[in-house]
A = this chain, B = another copy of it.
Amino acid sequence: MPVFASDMLSSVAYAPDEILLALSLSGAVALTASPWIGLAVGAVILVLVLCYRLNLRAYPGGGGDYEVASRNLGTRAGRAVAAALLVDYVLTLAVSLTVFASYVGTAVPALKPFRVEVAILGILVVTVVGLRGWRGIRRVLAIPTYLFLAAVIVTIVVGIVRVANGDVPTAATSGLSVIAPDGEPGPLHGAAAAFIVLRAFSSGSVAVAGIETVATAVPNFAKPRGRNAANTLLLTGLLSAGMLIGLTWLTARLGVKFVADPAHSLAGPGGQAVAHADQDPVIGQIAAAVFSGAPALALIVVVVTALVLLGAANTAVEGFPGLASRLARDGFVPRQLATRGDRLTFSNGILLLSAAAVVLVIGFQARATDLIELYLVGVFLSFALGQLGMVRHWSRRIRRIVSGPARRRMMAARAVNALGLGLVGAVLLVVLVSKFTHGAWIAVAAMVVLYALMGLVRRHYARVDAELRASPDDTTARTLPANTHAVVVVTAIHKPTLRALAYARATRPTYVNAICVAVDEEAAERLQRRWDEMALPVPLTVLGSPYRELVRPVMNYIARIRRRSPRDLVIVYIPQYIVGRWWENILHNQTVLRLKSRLLFVPNVVVASVPWRLRSFDRNREALVARSGDIDEDVLGTMR
């Protein structure tokens, strides 16, 4: 449970902050509304948990929004969800590690001015761990998740007990009052107040962000997968909702303040702005207040919160290959991403995501609130499409069933999903309306670009597939070329060449010929003489090269064969050195690789690489095989 849950649970580390921040826009009085908003968000969490349990029941293989939207609303909707999810991956990294940096600043105040740097460092660490693909990381990250749960629950319980005992702890910011940005400290009324509340509600809704991670992680659960996933979902939802409600209740009782601009929006007892005011994140403030006698305990709460945020970021990186392989199967991203097991394949994807996260963290100077608005767009767009897909799904099934309890159950399910759709749609609308010009457009633009790119990739694959399609009565595999010409490219008489000659002869071609380009005429003559002395069993043709070129004479030679016998197969055998260190590739094989790429342009030509493993390869074989990551230990034995 803890691995996939960390994404969702960790959002409790910033959702209360966002609620307080949104409310503080209308001054201090509104802050008392925070428990109610916490309650509302908790209710949303539970509604969405019910929704995703329905998804899981309908799609036991993994009830992610991508799956649901693709199947019920078509590939365009699926593609839109995919675009949103890719943006979400980037933002999970950016948001989790930005908030991580805040908690690090709380634990070690000296690091407060370096939030951007700490966040970037966090992204780098998570990326490197993700690239190494160390599977043990899951077990390690499970520990802070449990500790975080325990720490937050203990904090809430102790807080409630102290409040109940009349021993109300005071938060560091409780003595300060909030200055509303427009200078009007009084409570707002009517539409303005409603809008502030709506904003606080939608910002707080970020607490549901990780819910999809659990729903899509089904293949990773122990059997029975569907039931385990559904139970994990319910448990995580209940815990998240409980923690959120508890924390927001405490913020109100303890007088915790959290504003966008602490340097200007917090006023001291006299009403004047407090210069150099600084605020810790809400969990930090609550822990410090609740454990006012034991700062070590408060520090532990902050540290495990930071760790669980790292875990959430790791979940995003770990989850990417799964999403990418699903997208690859549908032809939205390069096909090589479909082979989920070959970890190296995903390196470039993960690097791209991390780079985007770093750009966002720098661009927004690690301002969590702004990043969260971007995040909400992606998260709630995919939620909305997923829920719409579910509504459509039930409607279709209901149409097929005339009556009975099954029909009633489905109608109930549809109602739940419709409720979910309404809620997430409302949040999406509020975020888009209130924040579009403030940065949400970046998320929208990124999605539009990704959506278009994925469409182009899919179209390209579809075109190529159509081009390559073989009719059932295609006889290519039975129509063999008339003759085979084996051509061995020789640059010197050494062991790799002799091996290439043996291999070329082993395939018993109709004709076999060795060719050598006289880049250096003297050397070519020497080679010819030695060839004759050794009486090598293959005739050698020396190709002239007036301009000291290598590729052109070979191409002309092959073209002559092609013209003489256009229906024959030409197999060009090229010795290739296999080296043990990357830089040796600069010194070897370059000309040969270029020759190969040109030969592949010519029809009826096959290029056969005859490898020669240099001693440097043999010395580094173990390391190379280990690094390649896709060769088993016992295969290594056959390499000697």
Measured CA separation A534–B469 after assembly (Å): 13
Residue of B with least CB distance to A545: B341
Contacts of A562 in B (CB 8 A): 638
Other-chain residue from B342, B506, B569 in contact with A569 (beta carbon distance below 8 A)? B506
Given contacts A499-B476, A502-B476, A578-B601, contact A615 B467 (CB under 8 A): yes
A614 to B468, CA, bound (A): 8
Q: Does A550 contact B (CB under 8 A)?
A: yes
Please give, as numbers and ranges, the residues of chain B lying within 8 Å of A505 by CB-CB distance: 477, 480
Q: Which chain B positions have C-beta within 8 A of A587?
A: 334-335, 457, 460-461
Output the least CB separation between A337 and chain B (Å). Answer: 9
Instruction: Give the segment of A15-23, A71-79, A193-201, A628-636 that binds chain B.
Output: A628-636
Do B571 and A342 have beta carbons less than 8 Å apart? no
The verdict on A137 contacting chain B, using a C-beta distance below 8 Å, is no
Given A468-B612, A555-B635, A632-B556, answer yes or no on A334-B498 (Cβ-Cβ < 8 Å).
no
Of residues 577 through 592 on chain A, the ones whose CB sits less than 8 Å from some CB of chain B are: 577-578, 584, 586-588, 590-591
Q: Which residues of B contact A571 (CB under 8 A)?
A: 507, 608
Interface pair B611/A605, CB less than 8 Å apart: yes
> Is there contact, CB below 8 Å, between A602 and B477?
no
Measured CA separation A238–B468 after assembly (Å): 69
CB-nearest residue of chain B to A560 = B638
Which residues A402-448 have CB closer than 8 A to chain B? none
Whether B600 and A549, one on each chain, are in contact in the complex, defined by CB atoms closer than 8 angstroms, is no
Q: Which residue of B lies closest to A635 (CB)?
A: B559
A467 touches B559 (CB 8 A): no
Q: For the complex, is A165 an interface residue (Cβ under 8 Å from B)?
A: no
Total count of chain A residues near the partner, CB < 8 A:
112
* A481-525 near B? 1/0 per residue, CB < 8 Å: 100100000001111111101110111110000000001100000
A299 within 8 A of B: no
Q: Would you call B484 and A506 a contact (CB within 8 A)?
A: yes
Question: Does A613 have its Cβ within 8 Å of any Cβ on chain B?
Answer: yes
Q: Among the listed B493, B520, B547, which residue makes an inter-chain contact with A470, where contact means beta carbons less than 8 Å apart?
A: B493
Contact assessment for A591 and B345 in the assembled complex, using a CB-CB cutoff below 8 Å: yes
Give CA–CA (A577, B607) in the complex, Å: 13
Partner of A548, one of B340, B469, B569, B605: B340
Residues of B within 8 A of A588 (CB): 335, 464
In the complex, A476→B536 CA distance in Å?
10
Query: Is the pair B548, A339 in contact by a Cβ cutoff of 8 Å?
Result: yes
The residue that A608 contacts in the complex, of B329, B492, B607, with Cβ under 8 A, is B607
**Sample of 9 A–B contacts (CB below 8 Å):** A338-B548, A340-B547, A470-B493, A549-B630, A558-B638, A563-B638, A601-B611, A601-B639, A603-B640
Among all A-B residue pairs, the 5 with the closest Cβ atoms? A341-B549, A341-B547, A476-B498, A468-B494, A336-B590
